[in-house]
Structure 1
C-alpha cells in the first residue's frame, strides 16, 4: 500500500484577496505535487471548511501530516491580543483544527511537518507563543506585489538536528515571507535552524516526529531538493515506526 499524506491548508476561498489566494494556492499545489511525486497518496484538505472533529476524522487514516502556510493564527490561542501591526484575517476554526492535528500527532507519534504558519501552529499547539510582528530585516520583501514577497536568505541548521542530517548540510538558502515568528518555544520543542538575525527558522520535537520550518521549501525558487528531502524525512520516520513495512506487507 502507498503511504498516505494529508496536506492541510487554511482555506480554499479568499474572494476578497484574489492575488494573495492565488499565491497561496500555487504553493499548496506545489507541495501536494511533490508529495505525489515522492510516492505518497495525497489528500488535500482545507481546515476552515471542516470542524476540528471533522478534520481529525478526515485525516484519521493518514500516515503523515503536512500543515501549510497562510494567515496569522488567532491570538487567543496563544494568549495574545489583536490590533498589532500587519495583522491579517483570522480563521479560528482552521486554527483549532490544525492545533488538534498537532496534538493528536504528538499522542500517536504520527510524522508531521509544518511549513511557515504550520511551524507556528506546532508551537502554539504545544503551549508556545508568537512574536506578533517582526520589523523586516531579511524575512520578506515589503511594499511589493504579493508575487514578489518571497525573499531569499540563509539559515544555519544546528548541530545534532535531524534537519541538518536530512538536508545534508549546515548552511542552506531558503525562501521566506513571514511577519511573525516563534516566541517562547512550546513544550518539547527544540530550535533546529536560525536565521542570521537570530530568529528561529526551524524547530523539532525532542522525542516525537514533529518538525516545523519557517520558510517555504515548496516555493518555485527554492532549491529543488528541499521539499523532496523533507518529505523523504517523513517517510524515514514512518520506517522507524515500522509503518512502511506494514504498508508493504
Structure 2
C-alpha cells in the first residue's frame, strides 16, 4: 500500500485458507480485500499484498536445491529445516505470484510484501536469495516467532513509523541476497540479515517479518501500510 491514498480494495495474492492472519489484519483496519490468485483486471484493485509462505523455488533466481552433501554440514535442526523447505516448494504458486506482482508494478500500483512476499519482490527486480542463513537459529520459527532487534535506515518507510530501532518477529531461514534493480535495503538485523526493503521509484515495499501478527496498534499498522 504506502501510496498515501484511500485504499478501497486490496488483493491478497494467496491461496484460500492460507492467508487468515493477513485477512484479519486488513479487516481490523477496515479495508476491503479479496484473496485470489486470478487477476483479470489490475485496475480493479488499489493495492497488492504478497503474503508469506514456504521457501522460494531456487530456479527463480538461477540457483539449484542445496545438495545433500552440503545439508549434512549443518546442525541436525537446520538439516530438518532445509529438507522440509525443499520438499514443500510450490513452483507454480511462486510463478503466479510473481506474474501478479509484475502486473501491479507495471501499473505502478502499491505493493506490500511480507516474508516470502518481500523475497519475491527482490527476485522480480533481478535480485537473488540466500538459500539458508548462516544465522538461521536467530530467525527461523521454533515453536514461536523469533524476536530480535532491527535497525531502520533514515528516509525509509519503516523509519517514518518506528524510528531508528525496533523489535521484529522472524520466522524464516532464507533471506534476500544481492538487491534487485531499484531495490534499497532499509532494515537490518544485528547479524546483517535484511529485514526490510523498498523500491527507489515505485510504491513497492516489503518486510521479512510479520506485522500482521506482531503489531496490535491499529494506528501504527495503518501507518505502516499507508492506509488512509
Q: Larger deviation: 76-85 or 179-188?
A: 76-85
TM-score (ref. length: structure 1): 0.75
SS of corresponding position for 1:34? helix
Contiguous gaps of at least 5 residues in structure 1? 14-24, 48-54, 237-249
Aligned to 1:182: 176
Aligned to 1:92: 91
Q: Report if aligned partners of 1:3, 1:39 keep a CA contact under 8 Å in 2.
A: no
Of residues 15, 35, 39 in structure 2, which corresponds to 1:44?
35
TM-score (ref. length: structure 2): 0.82
Write the distance in 1 (CA, Å) between the matches of 2:42 and 2:53. Answer: 20
How far off is 1:149 after superposition? 3.6
Q: Does 1:160 align with 2:155?
A: yes
SS of corresponding position for 1:5? strand
Of residues 205, 222, 232 in structure 1, which corresponds to 2:199?
205
Any runs of at least 4 consecutive aligned residues in structure 1 with deviations exceeding 6 A, and if so which? none
Q: Does 1:6 align with 2:11?
A: yes
Q: How many residue pairs align between the two structures? A: 204
> What is the RMSD computed on CA atoms of the aligned residues?
2.0
Aligned to 1:65: 48
Query: Cα 1:131–1:190, aligned 2, differ >3 Å: closer, same or farther?
Result: same
Query: Cα 1:153–1:63, aligned 2, differ >3 Å: closer, same or farther?
Result: same
Aligned to 1:138: 138
SS of corresponding position for 2:140? coil
How far off is 1:78 after superposition? 0.6
Write the distance in 1 (CA, Å) between the matches of 2:50 and 2:7. Answer: 20
RCO (CA 8 Å, sep 6+): is it higher in 1 or 2? 2
Write the distance in 2 (CA, Å) between the matches of 1:204 and 1:90. Answer: 26
Contiguous gaps of at least 5 residues in structure 2? 1-5, 72-81
